[in-house]
Structure 1
Amino acid sequence: MELPAATPAPAPGELSGLETRGVSAWFGTHKVLERVSLTMQAGQVTALIGPSGCGKSTYLRILNRMHEMTGTAALAGQVLLDGEDVYAPGRRPSDVRRRIGMVFQRPNPFPSMSIQDNVASGLKLAGIKVGREERAHLVESSLVRAGLWNEVRNRLRTPGGALSGGQQQRLCIARSLAVSPDVLLMDEPCSALDPTSTRRVEETIAELRGRLTIVIVTHNMQQAQRVSQSCAFFLATHDTPGRIVETGDTAQLFGDPVDPRTADYVNGRFG
């Protein structure tokens, strides 16, 4: 499957990059990540790959301060958005999550709420007040960017729960886009979708690239190769927490990996 070309990138300096330095994480006394340092380039898609249980989703949740919502969670290291630590004293988690949005593994629209109200709910949750005309414009533009507008433009008042699974996932993407995030995190966004819906979500990712920074967790190696420009391979063992084994350009990591463990994983020899 060939994805569409990315939308031309905005002028330099308009996009935000994301970086972690020496991030370690715990749940209680159990250490799940060990000194993870990674640069996620502005305007590109970075894929996080690796076997289940190696800390990819935990790492993703750390990026927008959702990790701390678990009572036993602890963290060390830095998460830098445009060079500023999102965990710095005085930074409000809600402000961080507005700039760094999240799309979850399973679509989670408000089922009885209309399509347009689902999109606009992102504004309410972020505390953004807009007039009726601006609200309508944001709903339309967000649905356009999520690749859903043409399918729902004539039924915006119908419940979001009446959409197909793939449409619901793109509705959730539109809800995240409504608050104009700098970064969009995606935790296995296609794992519950059929191939056709997966293709449409991947097309949406390709169209968003160049407009914002995207970080996606996926277990689908073909998907990682299709949608991402850079890739990070995570691995954990019974005795060691998750860490990055190898990171770099996606084509290089899949075509000529440096570490033999990376070669084994991307070629399906374990995981």
Structure 2
Amino acid sequence: MTALLEPETVQLASLEGRSVSAWFGDHKVLDRVDLVMPAGQVTALIGPSGCGKSTFLRILNRMHELVPSASLAGEVLLDGEDIYAPQRRLTEARRDIGMVFQKPNPFPAMSIYDNVLAGLKLTGRKAGRDEKDVLVESCLSKAGLWNEVRTRLRQPGGGLSGGQQQRLCIARSLAVQPKVLLMDEPCSALDPTSTRRIEETIHELKREVTIVIVTHNMQQAARVSDVCAFFLAEQGQPGHIVEQGSTQQVFEAPEDPRTFDYVNGRFG
């Protein structure tokens, strides 16, 4: 079982949204979004508040449907298979496509060790003690946290700093071996030092997992992402993608003047 944890055995997966539209009740918040998120790369979703970035992110692992009034149209393809297909189980989609939220949410009374393993029960995966030990060390190492907590694994996760808690949440997501990791403004509540460590972690992780990140920090998007999509919702219209492409192209030679204005801080 330990071999499953080695990077060379990981099959990198692509994610694609096709004609994705979304509503909350009668209010349409996304209109026909098409976006390919390449395997083994970091895709950044940028744009002003209220343009549908986080809604789109939640659609990518079926969290949007948790809202009673929410509905959607279109397809989300993980390696070509629609995660919303009738035969596709919700737990399977959530296992394959993990999520790290804006605010760190470890289980505060649960130990660091048990926090990492919390997802195994939800996915029904069985593991012996030795395998759990290997998994905890592996995931904490990948999240850049092992050296900081290795001597206090049985202490509560809630006792860690904010940046450490966020990396613990990343480790917890990695424990179920997702193919894609979604991050919704993972550094917005963190200090610059913790932000740098999270960004270093993202650089390391993309060798093993496809990453999609929502960020309002243009410098961060430029630093961590390979691909960038600029979302915009104008004059009460639903959000849509104005421009997408390599991060270098979007930031240095955008085709749409609205993209140029946004990445250069002229609005938003």
Q: Aligned partners of 1:225 and 1:101: how far apart in 2? A: 23
Amino acid corresponding to residue 123 of structure 2 in structure 1? A
3-state SS of paired residue (2:267): coil
Unaligned ranges ≥5, structure 2: 1-6
Partner of 2:150: 153
Amino acid corresponding to residue 91 of structure 2 in structure 1? S
1:83 aligns with 2:104: no
- Choose the corresponding residue for 2:267, options 247, 267, 270: 270
1:185 aligns with 2:199: no
Answer whether contact 1:10 1:210 (CA < 8 A) is retained.
Answer: no
Q: Deviations over 1:131-158 (max 9, x none)?
A: 1111111111000110000000000000
1:168 aligns with 2:165: yes
Amino acid corresponding to residue 58 of structure 1 in structure 2? T
Unaligned ranges ≥5, structure 1: 1-8
1:141 aligns with 2:116: no
Amino acid corresponding to residue 99 of structure 1 in structure 2? D
Answer whether contact 1:186 1:217 (CA < 8 A) is retained.
Answer: yes
Q: Aligned partners of 2:202 and 2:11: how far apart in 1? A: 19
- Choose the corresponding residue for 2:93, options 93, 96, 113: 96
C-alpha deviation, 1:239, in angstroms: 2.6
3-state SS of paired residue (1:151): helix
* TM-score computed with the length of structure 2 as normaliser: 0.96
Amino acid corresponding to residue 188 of structure 1 in structure 2? E
- Could you list the structure 1 runs, at least 4 aligned residues long, displaced by more than 2 angstroms after superposition: none
- Choose the corresponding residue for 1:17, options 14, 18, 43: 14
Identical positions, percent: 73
Partner of 2:192: 195
Amino acid corresponding to residue 186 of structure 2 in structure 1? P
Partner of 1:71: 68
Q: Aligned partners of 1:266 and 1:15: how far apart in 2? A: 29
1:251 aligns with 2:258: no
3-state SS of paired residue (1:244): strand
Q: Aligned partners of 1:210 and 1:247: how far apart in 2? A: 22
C-alpha deviation, 1:238, in angstroms: 3.0
Q: Aligned partners of 1:119 and 1:60: how far apart in 2? A: 23
Partner of 1:236: 233
Q: Aligned partners of 1:259 and 1:186: how far apart in 2? A: 26
3-state SS of paired residue (1:172): helix
Q: Deviations over 1:33-82 (max 9, x none)?
A: 00000000000000000000000000000000000000001010000001
Give the number of aligned pairs.
Answer: 262
Partner of 2:3: none
Q: Aligned partners of 1:10 and 1:254: how far apart in 2? A: 32
C-alpha deviation, 1:122, in angstroms: 1.4
Superposition RMSD in Å: 1.1
Partner of 1:34: 31
